[in-house]
């Protein structure tokens, strides 16, 4: 199964070097106007081939809506969009049919699908499949925005260069929106240059770098979510680990909570007029799996890109021998900045699903 969601189902399909990739958005409310130019803007934020920090594969990521939209509004029936692939260099992948890239899904995918997987461009495992995810998230975020909910993120760390963290008790929607306009979204603008230099230095060394993305969701009311298996943390984490190269997540102060005392980790409540708030937000806006009305904050680790062109040790599954591999092709020397719109989209879809599952308690 390749579908996510309880009330709205998102299916993504396709392979990186196949005819097209796409998404089916099932169960969306009817009567939602969609600004397709705004969706195009989101797709362009993620699209490859735009600068030296990205893979050179040039894809426009233009989408064609096939169904589920009529006379300016969602119909409520499955909304399907396709994105045609146009700049595949499949020859680069000839050797990867039987020589497995360390860190990528060549070996695990080959075993899982009995050797029938499309290995070209990483096939269905490719980061290319995040284009339909961004499409879905851009639709979801327009519905969320009508209810005052905003998702935004920035690069908290990249190859050891740190940005300042979000103000945990809340950033304005304007700040979150402004970050979306930047190639390397950071709060401390002075850090963008050093981050770019780290990416380009790694690329020059035939290597790659990773980092940490910090994401904030504002405008959610208190009391949304469920305890235990459908906690808001569980649903967001489930979605976030669907994004290729994401290897860790923490909410609020996360792993740093291990070294705090309760007196430091608790978030004291107060009334701001008749609105309940907390003075701090060490718990990331979630208690018992349920929103407490403060912004949701989480951080994700994005690993350094697996496909590097230095000589690596690996295996040949044809000869069943150990061998060396030098990867040819066009790869992202860093995934972090390209994953930012993907993470926002993924969060938007998961949160819209949480909200629509609340049967009128969210809005």
Ligand X SMILES: C=C(O[C@@H]1CC(C(=O)O)=C[C@@H](OP(=O)(O)O)[C@H]1O)C(=O)O
Going by the annotation, the residues of the binding site for FMN are 124-126, 288, 303-307, 330
Q: Which of ligand X, ligand FMN, none interacts with 308 (beta carbon under 5 to 8 A by kind)?
A: none
**Pairing outcome for strands 211-218 and 290-291:** unpaired
- 9 within 8 A of 27, measured Cβ to Cβ: yes
Should residue 57 be labelled a site residue for ligand X when binding is judged by CB under 6 A?
yes
Q: Which of ligand X, ligand FMN, none interacts with 168 (beta carbon under 5 to 8 A by kind)?
A: none
Q: How far is the CB of 335 from ligand FMN (least distance, A)?
A: 5
- 156 within 8 A of 211, measured Cβ to Cβ: yes
Angle 150-151-155 from CA coordinates, rounded to 5° = 145
Should residue 208 be labelled a site residue for ligand X when binding is judged by CB under 6 A?
no
* Site track 314-333 with ligand FMN (rule: CB under 6 A), x = hit: -----------------xx-
Binding-site sequence positions = 46, 124-126, 288, 303-307, 330
Q: Which of ligand FMN, ligand X, none interacts with 121 (beta carbon under 5 to 8 A by kind)?
A: ligand X
Q: Which of residues 93-132 bind ligand X (CB under 6 A)?
A: 121-122, 126-128, 131
Please tell me whether residue 36 adopts helix, strand or coil conformation: helix
Which position among 335, 345, 351, 354 is part of the footprint of ligand FMN (CB under 6 A)?
A: 335
Dist. CA 20–CA 59, nearest whole Å: 12
* Range in contact with ligand X (rule: CB under 6 A) among 67-75, 159-167, 248-256, 329-337: 329-337
Should residue 328 be labelled a site residue for ligand X when binding is judged by CB under 6 A?
no
Should residue 237 be labelled a site residue for ligand FMN when binding is judged by CB under 6 A?
no
- 90 within 8 A of 294, measured Cβ to Cβ: no
165 CA to centre of own chain: 19
Q: Which of 177, 211, 217, 214 lies closest to 196, judged by CA? A: 211
Angle 29-30-36 from CA coordinates, rounded to 5° = 95
Question: Where does this chain bind ligand X (CB under 6 A)?
Answer: 16, 48, 55, 57, 59, 88, 92, 121-122, 126-128, 131, 244, 329-331
């Amino acid at each position: 199964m390749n579908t996510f969601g309880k009330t709205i189902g998102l299916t993504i399909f396709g392979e990186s070097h196949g005819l097209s990739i796409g998404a089916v958005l099932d169960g969306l409310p009817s009567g939602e106007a969609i600004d397709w130019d705004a969706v195009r803007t989101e797709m362009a934020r993620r699209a490859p081939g735009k600068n030296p920090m990205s893979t050179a594969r040039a894809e426009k990521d233009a989408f064609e809506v096939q169904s589920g939209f009529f006379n300016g509004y969602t119909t409520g029936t499955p909304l399907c969009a396709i994105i045609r692939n146009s700049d595949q260099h499949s020859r680069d992948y000839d050797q990867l049919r039987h020589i497995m890239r360390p860190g990528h899904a060549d070996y695990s995918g080959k075993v899982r699908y009995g050797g029938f997987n499309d290995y070209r461009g990483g096939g269905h495992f490719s980061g290319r499949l995040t284009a339909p995810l961004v499409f879905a998230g851009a639709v979801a975020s327009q519905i969320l925005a009508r209810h005052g909910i905003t998702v935004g993120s920035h690069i908290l760390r990249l190859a050891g260069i740190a940005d300042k963290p979000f103000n945990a008790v809340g950033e304005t929607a304007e700040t979150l929106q402004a970050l979306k306009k930047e190639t390397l979204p950071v709060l401390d603008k002075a850090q963008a240059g050093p981050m770019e230099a780290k990416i380009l230095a790694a690329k020059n060394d035939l290597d790659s770098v990773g980092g940490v993305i910090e994401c904030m969701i504002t405008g959610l009311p208190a009391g949304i979510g469920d305890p235990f298996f459908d906690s808001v943390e569980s649903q967001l984490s489930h979605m976030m680990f669907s994004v290729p190269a994401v290897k860790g997540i923490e909410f609020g102060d996360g792993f740093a909570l291990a070294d705090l005392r309760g007196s430091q980790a608790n978030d004291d409540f107060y009334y701001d007029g008749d609105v309940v708030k907390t003075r701090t937000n060490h718990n990331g806006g979630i208690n018992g799996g349920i929103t407490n009305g403060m912004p949701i904050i989480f951080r994700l680790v994005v690993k350094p890109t697996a496909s590097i062109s230095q000589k690596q040790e690996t295996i040949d599954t044809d000869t069943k021998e150990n061998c060396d591999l030098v990867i040819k092709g066009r790869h992202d020397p860093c995934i972090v900045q390209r994953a930012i719109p993907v993470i926002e989209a993924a969060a938007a879809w998961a949160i819209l699903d949480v909200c629509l599952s609340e049967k009128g308690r969210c809005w």
